[in-house]
Amino acid sequence: MAACCGAVRGFLFEYDTPRIVLIRSRKVGLINRAVQLAILAYVIGWVFLWEKGYQETDSVVSSVTTKVKGVTMTNTSTLGSRIWDVADYVIPPQEKNAVFVMTNMIFTLNQSQSHCPELPDDNTECNNSSCVPGYVSTHSNGIQTGACIPYNSSIKTCEVFAWCPVEDDYHIPNPAFLQGAENFTILVKNNIWYPKFNFSKRNILPTFSSSYLKNCIYDAQTDPFCPIFRLGKIVEAAGQNFQEMAVEGGVMGLQINWDCNLDRAASHCVPKYSFRRLDNKDSANTISPGYNFRFAKYYKDSSGIETRTLIKAYGIRLDIIVFGEAGKFDVIPTMINIGSGLALFGVATVLCDIVVLYCMKKRYFYREKKYKYVEDYELGTSET
Amino acid sequence: MAACCGAVRGFLFEYDTPRIVLIRSRKVGLINRAVQLAILAYVIGWVFLWEKGYQETDSVVSSVTTKVKGVTMTNTSTLGSRIWDVADYVIPPQEKNAVFVMTNMIFTLNQSQSHCPELPDDNTECNNSSCVPGYVSTHSNGIQTGACIPYNSSIKTCEVFAWCPVEDDYHIPNPAFLQGAENFTILVKNNIWYPKFNFSKRNILPTFSSSYLKNCIYDAQTDPFCPIFRLGKIVEAAGQNFQEMAVEGGVMGLQINWDCNLDRAASHCVPKYSFRRLDNKDSANTISPGYNFRFAKYYKDSSGIETRTLIKAYGIRLDIIVFGEAGKFDVIPTMINIGSGLALFGVATVLCDIVVLYCMKKRYFYREKKYKYVEDYELGTSET
Amino acid sequence: MAACCGAVRGFLFEYDTPRIVLIRSRKVGLINRAVQLAILAYVIGWVFLWEKGYQETDSVVSSVTTKVKGVTMTNTSTLGSRIWDVADYVIPPQEKNAVFVMTNMIFTLNQSQSHCPELPDDNTECNNSSCVPGYVSTHSNGIQTGACIPYNSSIKTCEVFAWCPVEDDYHIPNPAFLQGAENFTILVKNNIWYPKFNFSKRNILPTFSSSYLKNCIYDAQTDPFCPIFRLGKIVEAAGQNFQEMAVEGGVMGLQINWDCNLDRAASHCVPKYSFRRLDNKDSANTISPGYNFRFAKYYKDSSGIETRTLIKAYGIRLDIIVFGEAGKFDVIPTMINIGSGLALFGVATVLCDIVVLYCMKKRYFYREKKYKYVEDYELGTSET
């Protein structure tokens, strides 16, 4: 009991601190301080100021809505004069984080379920007996009946049961059908949230006036925060040619970067827009270059037979990619970095010890001072 | 060779431990232990227990499907009595991580491509000669022909080539057209996965009975895990008024939080639902408040002429936002935090040293004990 | 001034290093080195080599487009022979990061707004007077008029105002209507980006030839990088039966893992595909198993009355889930890990001290060597 008490008292009332050799040497002193300074500069300058090591970070959670505006007119022999508005060229009418604007298309009017010659290619051209009934491949438009019938005056192809007539997509309209899409505008409404910090903000900044918002168009230089984008400008900003891209379509990324330092005022947390083409422009080494898909409008004639207009829609899909990290002071990362920094200070001592004990002339003298040798096997001790 | 052997033996068989001054002082001892205790408490309590610093974390990967149910009836002069079901008001019929429920709309029936007066506003009202052929602006419904024709008995506007008649969206139906949408239910099926831990779970918990799932409605108090939500309740839970929101539409966030401590049993890993309005309610300082988009249904009459019904659909888009972090014990973060904690213990010694060597009365006495002064330039040494 | 100068000179030109007791003992020396070796092995082997603790990591930002190909034929009494192509079975025609392929369906042709008997179930079967005018429940197809009329020769149900005739979805076609969907192919184009490292790559690798890309089909063994997937193979790879899944539909995850070590050449950064079923297969304990939704095609007959074909579409939704982390050497995490590692070295000294000072026979001898006792309250000092 008394022994225990003594141990506790010893534990509580004792303080142990390492014994230090204090060497008064210009050379070693300066090396030591220089190394310490370097470590301090690294810890404070790089870890804390540059990389903001004292901050807890969080990734953005975001919601995006878009609204396209603009009309354009086309004049073709098949369709005559025709006006195109939002309901016509945005497919599907609403999407999350994305919007598709049709810029080019191949129409196949009045398709119905029946028999007709397949589109000619290496596999479908035939001479009387090479068609296999029931054959269907990945690239087929329908199922072969086995007959070989004339596609036009010179070519015969296998007959298929399909939506007829089959689509002929060998010739893509160039220039693009809806050239005018260059002037369409896209309003992007983006609401972000950092759950860890319960911080939310919109890309429509509170400093904007209503009249500014009605008329502004985004421009990296003059209107960097306007949320309305001209489609042509987006494509140009990504270093692409709009009219070229409009022909085969493509995928554009509108990137909104919300990197925010929440230790500063919320008004400093603003979106930064950038633009990138997400698909590969080179048509070499790629399959189905650009971006297109097929959809159909279905009609029923008075006798109840279903016909459809098949549209192969080429166009620009705009993916709105929201990313970013917010940082805010937090105790944990600060402590981790301070701890690591302190540990690095040990490196200064190790380095200087190496210099002092191995490289200097008087190394034996210093070693004697630093070390006390205790022999285990023989009881003689070589005390300094 | 012998020298080398000796060095290796020296390296292997020697053990160096710092020499310590053990000061028997109540004051310093207590300060020392108090500081060490504080650091220990911080490391264990805060870093390990509170922030779970011993865990590796992973972000959630998720898949969501939704299913809306409900019918409602409307009675208007234009359309007569009409019933609305899922196929009518969910547009597009399926989306990933989102669902749109139409609550209000502006119909423009029987549009066809032709010439008609533009909707009157500051730019389109005209007196005979102010219309420019070919003019089209962002807000136009079509392309001006140059003529100025009567819009109604009192107003003349520029004639446009467009889908005619043009849509008049000045008057939004209020109360909302599909008021009954308040009672629609949305089943949300959510499957999550933490790839690092290969842990997956569904929001339909295994403890549910089939009959419970058929009839339950989510309620924060009574049914916090039921995956079926009443649309009106979602909006209310976000502090909004459904009938008000239904008029102009809006974007709602259904947030599913899957923060899980995987060191505990999997059954403790359950979703936490919360609701937030993602667009801004204030119509001040905003463009196109609420949420709406336009789509059309296309028809062909017996003579082959295409007409369409244009619908400006206002409604509630429900974004299902799944987020969360799972934590599980892992060696690396544990070691990083222990390492930092140990380094912080050094701080206790530094602090007490400052007290002992600079603040106490007997500081010169202690300094003498702690330090051994070695002069470099003069060989005299002041040994303690 | 002179004092200050002296202090600065002292600070700059002094170097303090702990005084060390160097104990020449085989046992303790070996313990010490073994512990140090273990810590070194842990730090280098585990933290640095295995967990790549020297790398900064970044999460992937991705863009996905898909393209489905394939046709199939069905032959039913209601519809006759009918061919189905992409425009028919992909709904909606384009989606971000997902694609839906219809595999089964329930048709309800020629619905129009009128009165008809409700689908019989526990709540709708009636005997003359049990129907409530205006009643509508979550599972209703329309609004009850109050009448009770014959559904067929044996059953009477409540009359509703609805899209009539109401859909009868009690019998799901089995085998699935579009069995042939097994052979449809899906081209997945995926472009990824690591913003922190400004590194981007596509899943169509530059080493592919065009002819390879036209004909390849993904296979885990033979063609692990081919971006074209056979729908049936995807389902099989997830351990499911396609024909079974096709009946009620389901959600499949196509996971693309882009874990990359950017310290190596970019050509080593390749996608890794894996497949998982995201919904629960067990129909027990689940509501609306599989995946389905309803959509309609709207028609207008010559008299202007709107009819629709309601389709309850069952099918496979393929979610393309892109995830991954890229790592690249960075100073901060390296330093944090080195710092923690160094701090852990302190543990070796602590452990050996415990052995030496508490467990060994000669512990009192060693303690005397290590410690210098300084008494505070009495000025006598017990110098070693």
Residue B200 φ/ψ, nearest 5 degrees: -130, 150
- Which of B11, B15, B205 best probes binding to C when mutated, by most C CB atoms within 10 angstroms? B15
Measured between beta carbons, which residues in chain B are less than 8 angstroms from residue A61?
Answer: 321, 323
The reported pLDDT for the residue numbered C222 is 93
What percent of chain C clears pLDDT 70, i.e. is strictly above it?
A: 93
Query: Residue A332: pLDDT above 70?
Result: yes
Q: Domain extents for chain A? A: 19-54+338-370, 59-118+166-328
Euclidean distance between the first and final Cα of chain C, in Å?
A: 39
Which of A20, A28, A288 lies closest to C67 in CB terms? A288
The reported pLDDT for the residue numbered B123 is 81
Query: Residue A382: pLDDT above 60?
Result: no
Q: Looking at domain B19-54+338-370, which CATH architecture does it have?
A: Orthogonal Bundle (1.10)
Which of B24, B295, B342 lies closest to A93 in CB terms? B295
**B343 shares contact with chain A (CB less than 8 Å):** yes
What would the two tokens of residue C225 be?
């990088």
> What is the Cα–Cα distance from C341 to B229, expressed in whole angstroms?
51
Helix (H), strand (E) at residue C224: none
Which residue, A44, A33, A32, is CA-closest to A340? A44
How far, in whole angstroms, is CA A31 from its chain's centroid? 47
The superfamily in CATH containing domain A59-118+166-328 is atp-gated p2x4 ion channel domain (2.60.490.10)
Which of A28, A280, A287 lies closest to C15 in CB terms? A28
The answer to whether B254 and B188 are in contact (CB under 8 A) is yes
Query: What is the 3-state secondary structure of C126-141?
Result: CCCCCCCCCCCCCCCC
What would the two tokens of residue C358 be?
């508490």
The reported pLDDT for the residue numbered B284 is 56
Nearest residue in A to B347, CA atom: A342
Measured between beta carbons, which residues in chain B are less than 8 angstroms from residue A305?
Answer: none
Euclidean distance between the first and final Cα of chain B, in Å?
A: 39
Which residue, A324, A65, A61, A327, is CA-closest to A192? A61
**B344 shares contact with chain C (CB less than 8 Å):** no
What is the pLDDT confidence band of residue B3, given thresholds at 50, 70 and 90? Answer: low
Contact residues for A364 (Cβ-Cβ < 8 A; gap 6+): none
Location of structure tokens 């603009």: A70
What percent of chain A clears pLDDT 70, i.e. is strictly above it?
A: 93
Query: Residue B285: pLDDT above 70?
Result: no
Which of A141, A286, A346 lies closest to C204 in CB terms? A286
| Inter-chain CB proximity A19 and B296 less than 8 Å | no
What is the pLDDT confidence band of residue B380, given thresholds at 50, 70 and 90? Answer: very low
Compare B287 and B229 and report the one with higher pLDDT.
Answer: B229
**Weakest mean pLDDT among A293-302, B52-61, B262-271:** B52-61
What percent of chain C clears pLDDT 90, i.e. is strictly above it?
A: 39
Which of B24, B319, B346 lies closest to A63 in CB terms? B319
ipTM reported for the complex, 2 dp = 0.81
Which residue, A87, A90, A84, A85, is CA-closest to A102? A90
Nearest residue in C to A349, CA atom: C17
Total residue count of chain B as it appears in this document: 384
Chain A residues 293-312 within an 8 A CB cutoff of chain B: 297, 299, 301-302
> What is the Cα–Cα distance from C286 to A244, expressed in whole angstroms?
50
| Inter-chain CB proximity A93 and B336 less than 8 Å | no
Residue C104, beta-bridge partner list: C314
Query: Residue C254: pLDDT above 70?
Result: yes
Compare C214 and B254 and report the one with higher pLDDT.
Answer: B254
Residue pLDDT, tens place only, B129-160? 788 898 888 888 999 998 999 998 889 999 99
- Which of C340, C363, C368 best probes binding to B when mutated, by most B CB atoms within 10 angstroms? C340
The reported pLDDT for the residue numbered B157 is 92
Neighbours of B133 (CB within 10 A): 11
Query: What is the 3-state secondary structure of C16-49?
Result: EEECEEEEECHHHHHHHHHHHHHHHHHHHHHHHH
> What is the Cα–Cα distance from B320 to B252, expressed in whole angstroms?
9
Instruction: Work out how many CB contacts closer than 8 A connect A with B.
Output: 217
Residue range A34-38: mean pLDDT, rounded: 85
> What is the Cα–Cα distance from C253 to C275, expressed in whole angstroms?
6
What would the two tokens of residue A58 be?
């969080």
Query: Residue C379: pLDDT above 70?
Result: no
| Inter-chain CB proximity B163 and A85 less than 8 Å | yes
Residue pLDDT, tens place only, C198-223? 888 888 888 888 788 888 999 999 99
Residue C203, classed as helix, strand or coil, is coil
What is the pLDDT confidence band of residue C286, given thresholds at 50, 70 and 90? Answer: low
Q: What is the largest CA-CA distance in chain B?
A: 118
Chain A residues 14-53 within an 8 A CB cutoff of chain B: 14-28
Q: Is B82 annotated as a binding residue?
A: no
Residue C292, beta-bridge partner list: C314
Contact residues for C48 (Cβ-Cβ < 8 A; gap 6+): C54, C337
The answer to whether B131 and B147 are in contact (CB under 8 A) is yes
Measured between beta carbons, which residues in chain A are less than 8 angstroms from residue C306?
Answer: none
The reported pLDDT for the residue numbered A285 is 56
Nearest residue in B to C136, CA atom: B71
**B355 shares contact with chain C (CB less than 8 Å):** no
Query: Which amino acid makes up residue C17?
Result: T
Annotated binding site of A for ATP: 67-69, 185, 292-294, 312
| Inter-chain CB proximity B376 and A88 less than 8 Å | no
What would the two tokens of residue B180 be?
């009954």
> What is the Cα–Cα distance from C72 to C86, expressed in whole angstroms?
10
Measured between beta carbons, which residues in chain B are less than 8 angstroms from residue A208?
Answer: 285
What is the 8-class DSSP label of residue A255? E
Query: Residue A28: pLDDT above 70?
Result: yes
> What is the Cα–Cα distance from B340 to B333, expressed in whole angstroms?
10
Measure in Å the smallest separation between the Cα of C98 and chain B Cα atoms: 7
Instruction: Work out how many CB contacts closer than 8 A connect B with C.
Output: 216
What is the 8-class DSSP label of residue C120? P
Residue range A111-116: mean pLDDT, rounded: 93
Neighbours of A366 (CB within 10 A): 24
Residue A247, classed as helix, strand or coil, is helix
| Inter-chain CB proximity C83 and A25 less than 8 Å | no
Residue range C49-62: mean pLDDT, rounded: 84
Query: Residue A379: pLDDT above 50?
Result: no
Nearest residue in A to B254, CA atom: A63
Residue A20, classed as helix, strand or coil, is strand
What letters, b where the CB count within 10 A reaches 16 and e where it falls short, cover A5-37? Answer: eeeeeeeebbbbbbbbbbbbbeebbebbbebbe
What would the two tokens of residue A66 be?
């878009």
Query: Residue A380: pLDDT above 50?
Result: no
Query: What is the 3-state secondary structure of chain B?
Result: CHHHHHHHHHHHHEEEEECEEEEECHHHHHHHHHHHHHHHHHHHHHHHHHCCCCEEEEECEEEEEEEEECCEEEEECCCEEEEECHHHHECCCCCCCEEEEEEEEEEEEEEEEEEEECCCCCCCECCCCCCCCCCCCCCCCCEEEEEEEECCCCCEEEEEEEEECCCCCCCCCCCCCCHHHHHCEEEEEEEEEECCCCEEEECCCCCCCHHHHHHCCCECCCECCCCEEEHHHHHHHCCCCHHHHHHHCEEEEEEEECCEECCCCHHHCCCEEEEEECCCCCCCCCCCCCCEEEEEEEEECCCCCEEEEEEEEEEEEEEEEEECEEEEECHHHHHHHHHHHHHHHHHHHHHHHHHHHHHCCCHHHHHHHHEEEEECCCCCEECC
The reported pLDDT for the residue numbered C382 is 41
**B341 shares contact with chain A (CB less than 8 Å):** yes
The answer to whether B259 and B324 are in contact (CB under 8 A) is yes
Residue range A5-18: mean pLDDT, rounded: 76
Residue pLDDT, tens place only, C130-185? 888 989 888 889 999 989 999 988 899 999 999 999 999 888 998 899 999 999 99
Residue pLDDT, tens place only, C8-25? 777 777 777 788 888 777
Residue pLDDT, tens place only, C114-130? 999 999 988 888 887 78
What percent of chain B clears pLDDT 70, i.e. is strictly above it?
A: 93
Query: Residue C384: pLDDT above 60?
Result: no
What would the two tokens of residue B54 be?
């011993």
What is the pLDDT confidence band of residue A2, given thresholds at 50, 70 and 90? Answer: low
Measured between beta carbons, which residues in chain C are less than 8 angstroms from residue A28?
Answer: 15
> What is the Cα–Cα distance from A250 to C134, expressed in whole angstroms?
51
